[in-house]
A and B are shown apart, each in its own frame.
Chain A
Amino acid sequence: AQKVTQAQTEISVVEKEDVTLDCVYETRDTTYYLFWYKQPPSGELVFLIRRNSFDEQNEISGRYSWNFQKSTSSFNFTITASQVVDSAVYFCALSVLAGGTSYGKLTFGQGTILTVHP
């Protein structure tokens, strides 16, 4: 079974601060995929990034960056110079390729509520 833990329930920062959202996952599968989704106050789920289990290269996209470390089973997400529009719930999610039979269901963490104050 898969499990995703986002230990930070809520984070509150002031605009322009950097903030890191933690994600720790558990799986016995050797091939898996990690995702981050954003849920703004309007409620939709917006895909942000995907990572493969065999690709530990970190990624930066504008103010967003992701740090994937297999050794600690973590896939953390950093927002640099946060803005009010970054206020949302952020979900980390995991899917596995179980012998080619997986149909890709996502296992989500509990989510981290990020509030950025002006």
Chain B
Amino acid sequence: EPEVTQTPSHQVTQMGQEVILRCVPISNHLYFYWYRQILGQKVEFLVSFYNNEISEKSEIFDDQFSVERPDGSNFTLKIRSTKLEDSAMYFCASRRPGQGARQPQHFGDGTRLSIL
């Protein structure tokens, strides 16, 4: 069964450094998402991406964050200048087109980001 793939599984970065998290969504999916989960807390929506542009973003997704689909297969999340509070598990998700929000989102295994 096709899967959403995320790399790396664990990223350790110094505070203030830029980090790029990578995702390869399922190939026939057209909607892409990033979520984050701070340790022990709930999963929070960051951003959705459709038709090569951001379709919706949360208040968490400030100017330090950006997303890109550079080559038609990868979907990346960049944090420009990381802060300690960015430490979390970041999940990429994708879903099929059609039927509005009915289609379930399929999640990758996540990237654990640790900011030192």
Contact = CB atoms under 8 A, between A and B. Distances in A.
Interface of A: 31-33, 35, 37, 42-47, 50, 52, 91, 93, 95-97, 100, 102-111
Given A91-B42, A108-B43, A109-B42, 18 more contacts: A33-B102, A43-B109, A43-B112, A44-B109, A45-B110, A47-B104, A47-B105, A96-B101, A103-B50, A103-B101, A104-B101, A105-B45, A105-B48, A105-B58, A106-B35, A107-B45, A108-B42, A108-B44
Interface of B: 31, 33, 35, 41-45, 48, 50, 55-56, 58, 89, 91, 93, 95, 100-110, 112
Nearest to A105: B45
A45 B101 CA distance: 18
Contacts of A50: 102, 104
B42 A111 contact: yes
